[in-house]
Amino acid sequence: MKLRDILLIVLIAVSASAWGQQIALLKYRGGGDWYANPTSLKNLVAFCNSNLGTQISTQIATVEVGSADIYQYPFVHMTGHGNVVFSPEEAQNLRNYLISGGFLHIDDNYGLDAFVRTQMKLVFPELEFVELPYSHPIYHQKFPFPNGLPKIHDHDFKPPQGFGLIWEGRLVCFYTYECDLGDGWEDYEVHKDSEATRTKALKMGANIIQYVFTQ
């Protein structure tokens, strides 16, 4: 293993173990609205800090796919409705980040699926998204979800599914599809979801955060 890779692993491991950390929103090219759900992550962080005892910064960072700054964040969130484009250099940077200990949560805000699957294939050409079983630990952190992801918004009336990319036995990317967790994390005024629906979304989001920071 190269010295650079060792340093990256140490950096991310120390950041995650500190429990007081900042998470980031992924900015990508292609014209898709990477900035969708602007209130979602701050609300998720506040919920985690209140219910999990985390001390995550309520200031949400924005990081570009190809930036070296991505290694500062143990958890990066990606969302949107439209096109996604990774250059070869960006795909390699994201790959290095993920295999060095980072984690990517992709939340399809409806319309992202066809684009993100193609681009993540550039990142991990040897891997396929696999649907995680309901027994996976990500569904059984502080808040049990024995039937997998909650359904937050109906668009295509399909069941929600959680897919993963698994690198050498470690889940490095969790893709929530037909679920719309991020909408459920938004301020009430945005979608006017019921308190029960928003709470389900926040609890599942908290499970993802707890899984990432403690795995």
| pTM of structure | 0.91
Name the residue range of residue 161's domain: 3-214
H-helix or E-strand spanning residue 14: helix 3-18
Residue 109 near residue 180, CB atoms below 8 Å: yes
Residue 9 has pLDDT above 60, yes or no: no
User: What residues pair up with 76 in beta bridges, in sequence order?
Assistant: 24, 104
Number of domains in the chain: 1
Q: What is the pLDDT of residue 157?
A: 80
DSSP state letters, 165-198: EEETTEEEEEEEES--HHHHHS-HHHH---HHHH
Give residue 17's identity as a one-letter amino acid code.
Answer: S
| CATH code for the domain of 13 | 3.40.50.12140
Whole-number Å distance between alpha carbons of 153 and 162:
15
For 123-158, what is each residue's pLDDT tens digit? 999 999 999 999 999 999 999 999 999 999 877 788
Q: What is the pLDDT of residue 20?
A: 64
